[in-house]
Chains A and B, each alone.
Chain A
Amino acid sequence: MSERASVPADEEGDEQTETSDQAPVTTGAQSVVRALENAGAEYIFGVQGGAIMPVYDALYDSDINHVTMAHEQGASHAADAYGIVTGDPGVCFATSGPGATNLVTGIADANMDSDPMIALTGQVPTEFVGNDAFQETDTVGITQPVTKESYFAADSDTVGDNVSEAFALADAGRQGPTLVDLPKDVTQGETDIEPAAPKTPDTYDVQEEADDAAVQEAAEALAAADRPVILSGGGVIKADASSALREFAIEYEIPVITTMPGIGSFPEDHELSLEWAGMHGTGYANMAISNTDCLLAIGTRFDDRLTGGVDSFAPDAEVIHVDIDPAEISKNIFAEYPLIGDARKVLRQLFDAMPRVPDVDEWREQCQTWKSEYPMTYETPDDEPLKPQYVVETFSDLTPDDTIVCTGVGQHQMWASQFWEYTEPRTWVSSHGLGTMGYGVPAAIGAKLAAPDQEVVCFDGDGSFLMTVQGLSVAVREQLDITYVVLNNEAVGMVRQWQDGFYEGRRMASEYPWIPQFDKLAEAFGARGFRLEAQEDVEETIQAAREYDGPSVIDAHIDPGENVFPMVPSGGDNGQFALEEDHLEML
């Protein structure tokens, strides 16, 4: 499906056998591509350009699939999503200057969510570096704060090693993005040196298993707790620890809350699941996290959208914090029991160290009571106007468990996380830490290519969709079977919700009554477009879009008055979430 210029398929096949990966490296660019091949790269998401051209030329002879994106931001988001779904680093390419700067949003996004990704950027020839040459920027300088490491490749003989190391580093320990900046003379330069095998730098140490004595102490504390809760973060999914978590929670009968990035790490249909906590998490998760006396937090960095005000976050709880990154321990929430290591291995250690099943029947009953007291519901007075929650819920009911849900950022993202039932890891692809509007369209492309056999749906908002809508052209060209659902309320709805709640309804720059008709826009791109207005048409429209073999867009005109609840005001107390507008006035 991806391109290698216009070489016919059969000719291409012949060519592949001739130029298999045994051909010797002759240029820096070929060394770069060889390093990517050695590391197992399957797809590259990128945009051509002057300074990166030698690398693209080398890619012409490679089996790696290249997907030309409509904008570099889309390339980095697609690579990011590919990394989330497969667990292996996604790869993106951009040229120097504006190409590189356009990648930065996606790199920063991957950095905040610890998604494995490697970005390769073209750079002006070394003799021009620092001279403000055409399309020059200090890419290493710009990206250093948002990568695990940014490399400036200075030599044709070692540029392949730089890429190998960057690839390995992106995947090692706490995953994240890396970047290699490739001056044009370095990639054009002659070399016959094969890149080294992917290996992390010798200064990068990762502790895989936690100290046994510390694990024992933590296990004793957990077993002795009256109101224990497991908080499962995105790191559980990253470490492929979901099944270990399930075994542990079920064996020791401890309720499980996830963070938003941790969605899918524990099945939401299990009775121990309280779904996810935080600003728009479920009421019962927030009640449990507020009242727990022992919090086993795994692979979470205690983001402020999760904790609310630090002073009121799980204030009675002793915290057992499992993380592979020591710097996350006690960064935001102090941990009485720090356990540094890989989530899957530490969960295994904890499993063996637990002295007994904690005696917490009453606590579990309390959690169930909260479930019935604060259920996730919404009002459906009549068929009109269409409720976004109903669209999400219906879609969830119609699709298989392994369906991948991508989103943009905004109210639609919250509804997609609240009203879809997630049971499998790596099926929730969203922008959490950076909160990047426009993430959804390209992310769905990366997710679909990562998992071609799984259904992919992307919920977006009208504001968010419009930011990267050009990515639809890529989905059409690649004939990717993705269903985009635009939950269209003609506004950047989350901003409007805050303005209504906290700025006396002064809706400055949040209403978008001028947006295009997305169904027609979809058709203009060559996708299928559907307009959805009535509740009675929801199921039929979704099925029609699912059945269409290619990208489709459902422009769902939802109730513009609908807001996201529950809600913990920024910096607030999780236990005092508002279930409705009236509650906000009490806080």
Chain B
Amino acid sequence: MPGPAPPERMRPKGRRNSQGIRVDPEAEVTHEPRQAVLSALVKHKPGVLSEVSALFSRRQFNIESLTVGPTVDSDTARMTILIEEPEPGIDQAKKQLRKLVPVIEVTELDPTAVRRELALIKVGGEKPDDVNAVAEMYDGQAVDASTDSVTVEITGSKQKIDAAVEAFKQFDVQEVVRTGAAALERGPTTLNKHD
């Protein structure tokens, strides 16, 4: 007794969304991308940065910025990674990151975390006083000047630096370099579980 052909078979009515989450017909679950700041303590050894960045590229996580530098412990380095993903992607990024052998600890920082970015902005040197005035508006300072150019250093949030770069456009911006965010949790919380 052959069973029914495909369209006539017993089938449930439910379905899942693209993230494999069952869709409740009364409250459809969708996840809009949001920005997350991941902070990772890693072994300070060659190849770690490439291992982490390769993970993000091959898993197609949308990475905004990645900064890395040593900590007070010469064996560990700290990475701050900004990603923009729907909730399941952020969760997956954390778990995949945690799986890497050189990664000691991973956490997502609270939105209130201290978050800073550094930019160096090189502009034309025709109006040094005006450049200086704008730099002061953004708590920045000129760190190099020549007859043809002035280089200004700005530190602060991404939004502040975006605004500063925008403001400096009036002086013929020649080059900009930005570090991406470095971030730390406010208060006494630390990432190093051995502390």
Binding site for B on A (CB under 8 A): 140-141, 144-145, 148-149, 152, 169, 201, 203-204, 283, 287, 290-291, 293, 302, 310-313, 315-318, 325-327, 329-334, 370, 372-374, 573, 575-579, 583, 586-587
Question: Would you call B47 and A145 a contact (CB within 8 A)?
Answer: no
Question: Would you call A330 and B91 a contact (CB within 8 A)?
Answer: yes
Asked, given contacts A287-B9, A311-B15, whether A144 binds B3 with beta carbons under 8 Å apart, the answer is no
Q: A330-B88, A372-B1 provided; 12 other pairs, C-beta below 8 A?
A: A141-B47, A203-B43, A203-B102, A283-B3, A291-B12, A315-B13, A315-B15, A316-B13, A316-B22, A373-B3, A575-B6, A583-B5
Question: Would you call A204 and B101 a contact (CB within 8 A)?
Answer: yes
Which of the segments B50-58, B121-129, B144-152, B171-179 contacts the partner chain? B50-58
A203 partner residues in chain B, CB cutoff 8 A: 43, 101-104
Give min CB distance, B178 to chain A, whole Å: 27
B4 partner residues in chain A, CB cutoff 8 A: 373
CA distance A204 to B104 in the complex (A): 8
Look across to chain B and name the residue whose beta carbon is closest to the beta carbon of A366.
Answer: B10
Determine if B160 is an interface residue (Cβ-Cβ < 8 Å).
Answer: no
Pick the contact of B7: A287, A316, A372, A576 (CB < 8 A): A576
Question: Would you call A333 and B16 a contact (CB within 8 A)?
Answer: yes
CA distance A290 to B9 in the complex (A): 10
A152 partner residues in chain B, CB cutoff 8 A: 46-47
Asked, given contacts A203-B43, A290-B11, A315-B22, whether A334 binds B16 with beta carbons under 8 Å apart, the answer is yes
- Chosen A-B contacts, 22 in total, with CB atoms closer than 8 Å, are A144-B54, A145-B58, A149-B101, A203-B102, A291-B10, A291-B12, A310-B16, A310-B19, A313-B16, A313-B20, A316-B12, A326-B98, A329-B95, A330-B20, A330-B92, A334-B19, A334-B20, A334-B21, A575-B6, A576-B9, A586-B5, A586-B7
Kindly count the residue-residue contacts between A and B in the assembled complex, taking CB atoms under 8 Å apart.
107
Binding site for A on B (CB under 8 A): 1-7, 9-22, 43, 46-47, 50-51, 54-55, 58, 88, 91-92, 95-96, 98-99, 101-104
Question: Would you call B99 and A327 a contact (CB within 8 A)?
Answer: yes
CA distance A327 to B11 in the complex (A): 30
Give 9 nearest A-B pairs by CB, closest first: A373-B3, A315-B14, A327-B95, A316-B12, A333-B20, A334-B21, A576-B6, A149-B101, A316-B14
Asked, given contacts A148-B101, A326-B98, A372-B1, whether A302 binds B11 with beta carbons under 8 Å apart, the answer is no
A293 partner residues in chain B, CB cutoff 8 A: 12
Asked, given contacts A203-B103, A327-B95, A370-B3, whether A315 binds B16 with beta carbons under 8 Å apart, the answer is yes
CA distance A207 to B170 in the complex (A): 57
CA distance A287 to B15 in the complex (A): 15
B58 partner residues in chain A, CB cutoff 8 A: 145
CA distance A586 to B6 in the complex (A): 7
A575 partner residues in chain B, CB cutoff 8 A: 6, 9-11
Q: Which of A203, A317, A576 has the most CB of B within 10 A?
A: A203
Give min CB distance, A324 to chain B, whole Å: 11
Question: Would you call A577 and B98 a contact (CB within 8 A)?
Answer: no
Look across to chain B and name the residue whose beta carbon is closest to the beta carbon of A583.
Answer: B6
Give min CB distance, B192 to chain A, whole Å: 12
Pick the contact of A311: B3, B16, B98 (CB < 8 A): B16
A141 partner residues in chain B, CB cutoff 8 A: 47, 50
Question: Would you call A145 and B54 a contact (CB within 8 A)?
Answer: yes
Look across to chain A and name the residue whose beta carbon is closest to the beta carbon of B194.
Answer: A202
Give min CB distance, A107 to chain B, whole Å: 15
Question: Would you call B11 and A326 a contact (CB within 8 A)?
Answer: no
Question: Would you call A290 and B12 a contact (CB within 8 A)?
Answer: yes
Question: Would you call B51 and A144 a contact (CB within 8 A)?
Answer: yes
Give min CB distance, A22 to chain B, whole Å: 32
CA distance A235 to B49 in the complex (A): 30
Give min CB distance, B101 to chain A, whole Å: 4
Give min CB distance, A381 to chain B, whole Å: 18
Give min CB distance, B53 to chain A, whole Å: 11
Give min CB distance, A126 to chain B, whole Å: 12
CA distance A373 to B10 in the complex (A): 12
A148 partner residues in chain B, CB cutoff 8 A: 101
Give min CB distance, A113 to chain B, whole Å: 17
Asked, given contacts A327-B95, A586-B6, whether A332 binds B20 with beta carbons under 8 Å apart, the answer is yes
CA distance A472 to B99 in the complex (A): 39
Look across to chain B and name the residue whose beta carbon is closest to the beta carbon of A332.
Answer: B20
Give min CB distance, B49 to chain A, whole Å: 12
Look across to chain B and name the residue whose beta carbon is closest to the beta carbon of A336.
Answer: B22
A332 partner residues in chain B, CB cutoff 8 A: 20
Question: Would you call A311 and B7 a contact (CB within 8 A)?
Answer: no
Question: Would you call A334 and B2 a contact (CB within 8 A)?
Answer: no
Give min CB distance, B38 to chain A, whole Å: 14
A578 partner residues in chain B, CB cutoff 8 A: 6
B2 partner residues in chain A, CB cutoff 8 A: 373-374, 579
B98 partner residues in chain A, CB cutoff 8 A: 326-327
Asked, given contacts A203-B103, A331-B92, whether A310 binds B9 with beta carbons under 8 Å apart, the answer is no
Question: Would you call A325 and B99 a contact (CB within 8 A)?
Answer: yes
Asked, given contacts A145-B54, A575-B11, A576-B6, whether A334 binds B22 with beta carbons under 8 Å apart, the answer is yes
Question: Would you call B20 and A169 a contact (CB within 8 A)?
Answer: no
Pick the contact of B1: A373, A579, A583 (CB < 8 A): A373
Give min CB distance, B55 to chain A, whole Å: 8
Pick the contact of B10: A144, A287, A318, A325 (CB < 8 A): A287
